[in-house]
Amino acid sequence: MIPLTLYTTLGCHLCSQLEGLLGLLCREPVALDRVEISEDQALMARYGVRIPVLADGEGHELDRGFEASRLVAWLAEREWLDEEGWEALRRQWEGEEAPREVRGAQRRGGRRYLG
């Protein structure tokens, strides 16, 4: 299990995009601790214009992880990247392959929920 922290706020569509990418690109399941920044002035000052920010257990942070190339590099650096998932996603974007289901996603009432 990969423990990660996501600094986020309610309704952040970029955060949702990042979560979806994590489900496709991580070679192990992710334990995602979501931290709501709007409830803390210090967190708002630090992360307000940077969210989503992903942090590993050692405190290394990734800004703009919703950009797949940045997330791929960050995951690969930690040896967490699912190479096959990345190749499948690239082929999907190029129109060569149907979308892949996200590991760990659950469907309820027509909506997809992660973790």
pLDDT surpasses 70 at 110: no
The confidence score (pLDDT) of residue 38 equals 93
**Which CATH number goes with the domain that contains 35?**
3.40.30.10
Range of the domain at 99: 2-114
The confidence score (pLDDT) of residue 66 equals 86
The confidence score (pLDDT) of residue 95 equals 72
Q: Which of 13, 24, 27 is nearest to 99 (CA)?
A: 24
Tens digit of each residue's pLDDT (9 = 90 or more) over 21-72: 998 899 999 999 999 999 999 999 999 888 899 999 999 999 988 888 899 9
CA distance 97 to 67: 20
- Other beta carbons within 10 angstroms of residue 9's beta carbon come to 18
Q: How far is CA 9 from CA 3, 40, 47, 102, in A?
A: 19, 11, 10, 22
Tens digit of each residue's pLDDT (9 = 90 or more) over 63-105: 988 888 899 999 999 999 999 989 988 888 777 655 555 555 6
The confidence score (pLDDT) of residue 64 equals 83
Q: Which of 31, 49, 39 is nearest to 10 (CA)?
A: 39
Domains held by the chain: number: 1
